[in-house]
Amino acid sequence: MTRTTKPDPDDGPPTKHNAPDTGETPSAPATPETPPAPDHSLYEPYPGASFFHGGRNSPIVQAMAYRLFQEGHWGTAQSPGPDWTNGHKRAFAAFQHTLRPKGSGDTSGIPDEVAWDQLHVPRVTPNPKEGS
């Protein structure tokens, strides 16, 4: 006579019902990290439209001009210097045209806040948090 046996519950892969108790709680599945917000202290804050006029000499103008050069919008033989010139205005207008095709917004060449923020001009002035 053959005796049939029931399968041992400890046989087979562990489940939540038969897993050995290790004292550890199972970790939650890893959730994807949200990318960090851009560090605005790295970029020059928008100085306002009235900042950009003939006779302005500033490291901010030079940093902006260099970024325009890096982006391929500096179309003049004049080097991107600190004096606001028509070359700066033409280069910024070219950048604005890439952001606003078909003239769907400000393409005057005078920096506006939206375009300025898109250009990511590196900070050249002291960060207010670092002052004092």
Residue 102: both structure tokens together:
């078909």
For the chain, domains (ranges, CATH) are 41-119 (1.10.101)
Which tokens is 113 given? 């806040």
pLDDT, mean of residues 14-26: 57
DSSP letter at 57 equals B
| pLDDT of 9 over the 70 cut | no
Q: What crossing angle do the helices spanning 86-99 and 59-70 adopt, rounded to 10°?
A: 50
What gap in Å lies between CA 74 and CA 95, rounded to an integer? Answer: 9
> Tell me, what's the pLDDT at 111?
97
pLDDT of residue 110: 97
Mean pLDDT of 85-108: 92
> Which carries the bigger pLDDT value, residue 69 or residue 127?
69
Q: Does the pLDDT value for residue 66 go beyond 90?
A: yes
Please tell me the pTM assigned to this model: 0.67
Q: Is the dihedral of CA 33, 114, 127, 90 positive or negative?
A: positive
The model's pLDDT over 31-49, given as tens digits with 9 standing for 90+, comes to 556 555 556 689 999 999 9
Interatomic CA distance for residues 115 and 130, integer angstroms = 26
Q: What is the mean pLDDT of residues 113-120?
A: 97
- Length of the chain in residues, anyone? 132
What is the per-residue pLDDT for 96?
A: 96
| Position 6 confidence tier, pLDDT thresholds 50, 70, 90 | low
